[in-house]
Structure 1
Amino acid sequence: MTSYHTHTKLRFIILLTAWGILVGTYDLGSLSISLPQLIIMWHLDGLQQSFLGSSTLIGMVFGSIGAGVLADRFGRRSILLLDFATFIIAEVISATAPDYTVLLIARFIVGIGIGAEFATAFPYLSELIPAKTRGRVMASVMWAANFGMLAAYGVGAWCLHAGPSGWRSTLAIGALLATPLLFFRTILPESTAWQNHHITSLKEFTSTWKNKALRRMLLSNSSNWFFYQISDQGLSLFLPTFLMEQLGSSVVRGVLASLLVKAITIPAALLTVFLIDRTGRRPIQLWGFFGRTIGLFALAMLSISIPGTHKLWVILALIVTYAFGAFGPDKTTVILPAEQFPTEIRASGQGIAESMGRIGGITGVVGYALLSTTVSNSAGILLFAVAALIGWIITISSTKETNHQSITFLQEFESTTSMGK
């Protein structure tokens, strides 16, 4: 195959991967948009809100771990085909759900598909992209996530304005966006790195994870992802509701204000695309966690005051929070494990780290729902701020740089660590 055709095919693979990430984050955003209307329509209490808000994240926990293990055993390509078949079916059920229970179950299954996508897509990409541009490419794919979330807020505002069933249209559009992926992904090639270096038995898989260096690596990546997602999922899910209360606005205006705030993630993420292969992953993650901590602590203080008295400052604090998140840990917590783990267990390592991130998201959703309904909004925001601060501390103490490093196989990893000691 000529160099031109090779590069063209690689760009198409990158596009298909980015498309999948965009659809997954669109779906997460669409539930955030739908929640205020569902709360009113089905009279949901705080506990029901937290269950519904976290149901997709719980599904992602199972989907990411299961898909990661299966992708290491049977290959990346098959998982990248199956995950969106699952997603589309469950998304259609979500959009037509007659009651809370059906929607809750459907959202869980949607989460399985999204979790499988995140656990497989980035290990797959890391095995295809040269080291000198790998960070930029994966950050660009994650940039699609920011467009997905922004699209959800824009589409959601339009659909909700159309009437009380607008939430159904918002979810249905997610299924529509995913459908072409089932056709185009049939042309995806299998990862050559996986074909040449993969584990062939459960015994080999479990013995590999007995390695202390691998477990420390897993703990560091999982912790960073966990503490970032506490604030990211928790704040994003309740952002329209939070802004409705803080600005004293309607559901549609709350969604439009959320769209304005979320727009900052586009240039912030683009800055990461330009810098990540120059400065490395670790500095970007440090600055991202630090700036997010400042923004969230400021937001917690502002939300103590009477709603509507500091509208501009609330918006500015949210912009700072989302800008630093999109610039730093929103990208690096996904990219680092895909680059660090040996090929033989790359997807399972990514999947386990991701699952911890989703547990962090559940913690943020449930924590905010309970704190905001029993104490105050500021208590819920304070939870997010503390989580971001802990993420910054963990990055300082344990996060390793992966910039321009080659994708390793298990034998290479073993030769550079004190295995068996």
Structure 2
Amino acid sequence: MAGQHLQVLSALDVAKTQFYHFTAIVIAGMGFFTDSYDLFCISLVTKLIGRLYYSTPGSINPGSLPPNVNAAISGVALCGTFAGQLFFGWIGDKMGRKRVYGLTLILMVVSAIASGLSFGHTAKGVVATLCFFRFWLGFGIGGDYPLSATIMSEYANKRTRGAFIAAVFAMQGFGILAGGIVGIIVSSSFKAAYPAKPYQLDHIGSTVPQADYVWRIILMFGAIPAALTYYWRMKMPETARYTALVSRNAKQAASDMATVLQMEMEAEPEKIERLAMEPSNTYGLFSKEFLSRHGLHLLGTTTTWFFIDIAFYSQSLFQKDIFTDIGWLPSPKTMSALEETFKIARAQTIIALCGTIPGYWFTVAFIDYIGRFRIQLMGFFMMMVFMLGLSIPYNHWKNNDHTGFVVMYALTFFFCNFGPNATTFVVPAEIFPTRLRSTCHGISAACGKAGAIIGAFGFLYAAESPTKSLDDKGYPPGIGVQNTLYVLAATDLLGFVFTFFVPEAKGKSLEEMSGEIEPDQEGIEMDKRAMLKP
């Protein structure tokens, strides 16, 4: 609506980068640091759990869990994340972002500690308890996605909004790195204190009893950063956009932002009431109006997130299996249990340092210059190229050039994160109306986790060698790692195509993208001049 631009919103849009921006990035980002640590640290310890609870004398492949158990341990947190994204996304629009923001951290702290204390008289009992607590861990993690993205987008100015949201998500890279480092420290400490023999056919002495503490400590460590962040989350005020446009509390919105921006702010309750009555601010999620305005946008954000998470999570959770298949990681039969955990953690750390983290921060650096759309297209395309580069000459990499494979593999992570893994998180927080923003982000993220679940559960079966018989491990052969990489290349192609449904939000205000307030250049310029007065 022309002439109805709110000063509190235009002040946020044109605000210079200030200390509160970085505070918000750290507070929201530490949640994502914890999220990624908790989700991906499980890949470090599944083989150790297999050695402790499922290896038997004469095992051909020590540490190999039954496929249903491996899938459950690796994927159950993703199922919880799926549910949490839908629930907290919806509740974040109904009750406000701030009111439920701390609850996600409490769930993560309690569930991370409980996961490490998983108990049972049998292997099945321990695994069942672990899966129960990791589901609720995932539920808390799921809430962090829509709430953190929405809060950061609603605090940011429009010039650097993409970089701020991407910086929150980039903390995921440091969480993955921290998982590798903690795995290295804990496993090497126990390895030095309790020496073990390499695995032998009788496996006696290769897995010391104290190794049971290793996976528990690694899982429980995720509670620490979440607990440290709780106090600061509770001190954050509700976002002015939610307070003004959803709660319609003009006075509170102006007061909160006056404190944050350190300037006088006019409440403008009459404007807020008039805006609330506009047709563009009254339609619901399941209305024809939403379908006509944002239906294709929601299709674009859900499908692209779905396809990227199939690739990202299957690669991240099972990179240890890929590296073992090509021979970069030694055969489990040549290592003790703790040595194997150490080498898996070291491999994850190398990939995080060389591919994962640089990709995230390239997105932070360039997203507000190149734009979300171009970065996402480029990322999907380059991932497809490198996936084909890994899969077509797969036997060459496997038999002759392990280092070349790892370099190519790291580049897929680089362009995943300097590409759709970051942009699919950013865009849903920018293009939907304030009253539906958290819900739509949660729906988009949940579709991504549906892809992650397919990647986690499907990869275990698909990657098995097609030459293996049913008797080798007790379950049917798959299509092999090489053909699995072909499938991942195909998902990248589909993500590339569906990116054309996603709009570019670079340089535009949230209200302009969502259609809540029509562009009003005259009002914006007046607000700019007002803010420049001493």
TM-score (norm 1): 0.91
Q: Distance in 2 between matches of 1:9 and 1:409?
A: 24
Residue identity in the other structure for 1:156: G
**Paired position in structure 2 for 1:142:** 169
Residue identity in the other structure for 1:211: F
Residue identity in the other structure for 1:149: I
Structure-2 change in CA distance of 1:241 and 1:40 (3 Å): farther
Q: Distance in 2 between matches of 1:172 and 1:309?
A: 40
**Paired position in structure 2 for 1:258:** 348
SS at match of 1:402: coil
1:245 and 2:325 correspond: yes
Deviation at 1:268, TM superposition (A): 2.4
Q: Is the 8 A contact 2:397 2:404 kept in 1?
A: no
Q: Distance in 2 between matches of 1:366 and 1:12?
A: 38
**Paired position in structure 2 for 1:29:** 40
Deviation at 1:70, TM superposition (A): 0.3
SS at match of 1:127: helix
Deviations for 1:118-171, whole angstroms, at most 9, x for unmatched residues? Answer: 111111111110100101111222221111111111212222332523211111
Residue 388 of structure 1: which of 488, 492, 506 is its match?
Answer: 492
**Paired position in structure 1 for 2:122:** none
**Paired position in structure 2 for 1:83:** 104
Deviations for 1:251-285, whole angstroms, at most 9, x for unmatched residues? Answer: 22233123212212222222222211111111111
Q: Is the 8 A contact 2:67 2:461 kept in 1?
A: yes
- Segment drifting more, 323-332 vs 220-229: 323-332
Q: Distance in 2 between matches of 1:274 and 1:206?
A: 34
- Segment drifting more, 182-191 vs 253-262: 253-262
TM-score (norm 2): 0.73
- Segment drifting more, 179-188 vs 191-200: 191-200
1:222 and 2:222 correspond: no
1:211 and 2:273 correspond: no
Structure-2 change in CA distance of 1:78 and 1:364 (3 Å): same
Structure-2 change in CA distance of 1:314 and 1:174 (3 Å): same
1:111 and 2:153 correspond: no
Q: Distance in 2 between matches of 1:316 and 1:236?
A: 15
Deviation at 1:46, TM superposition (A): 1.3
Q: Distance in 2 between matches of 1:34 and 1:199?
A: 46
Q: Which runs of 5+ in 2 are unaligned?
A: 1-11, 55-64, 120-125, 192-210, 249-281, 465-476, 520-534
Deviation at 1:174, TM superposition (A): 0.3
Q: Is the 8 A contact 2:505 2:513 kept in 1?
A: no
Q: Is the 8 A contact 1:14 1:141 kept in 2?
A: yes
- Segment drifting more, 321-330 vs 236-245: 236-245
Q: Is the 8 A contact 2:285 2:436 kept in 1?
A: no
Deviations for 1:30-78, whole angstroms, at most 9, x for unmatched residues? Answer: 1111222223333321122112211111101110010011000100012
- Bigger CA radius of gyration: 2
**Paired position in structure 2 for 1:125:** 152
- Segment drifting more, 115-124 vs 149-158: 149-158
SS at match of 1:211: helix
**Paired position in structure 2 for 1:180:** 228
**Paired position in structure 2 for 1:419:** none
Q: Is the 8 A contact 1:302 1:314 kept in 2?
A: no
1:407 and 2:510 correspond: yes
SS at match of 1:123: helix
Q: Distance in 1 between matches of 2:219 and 2:142?
A: 17
Structure 1 runs, 4 residues or longer, greater than 6 Å off:
3-6
Structure-2 change in CA distance of 1:126 and 1:37 (3 Å): same
Count, aligned residues: 411
Following superposition of structure 1 onto structure 2, how do residues 336-351 of structure 1 map, counting pairs within 5 Å? 336-351=427-442
Deviations for 1:265-313, whole angstroms, at most 9, x for unmatched residues? Answer: 2222222222111111111111111111112222223544684532112
Structure-2 change in CA distance of 1:411 and 1:107 (3 Å): closer
Q: Which is richer in helix?
A: 1
SS at match of 1:132: coil
Q: Distance in 1 between matches of 2:453 and 2:491?
A: 13
Residue identity in the other structure for 2:169: M
Residue identity in the other structure for 2:242: W
Q: CA RMSD for the aligned pairs?
A: 2.4
**Paired position in structure 2 for 1:65:** 86
Deviations for 1:71-118, whole angstroms, at most 9, x for unmatched residues? Answer: 001000122110010111111111111200011111110111011001
Structure-2 change in CA distance of 1:232 and 1:68 (3 Å): same
Residue identity in the other structure for 2:381: F
Q: Distance in 2 between matches of 1:310 and 1:254?
A: 19
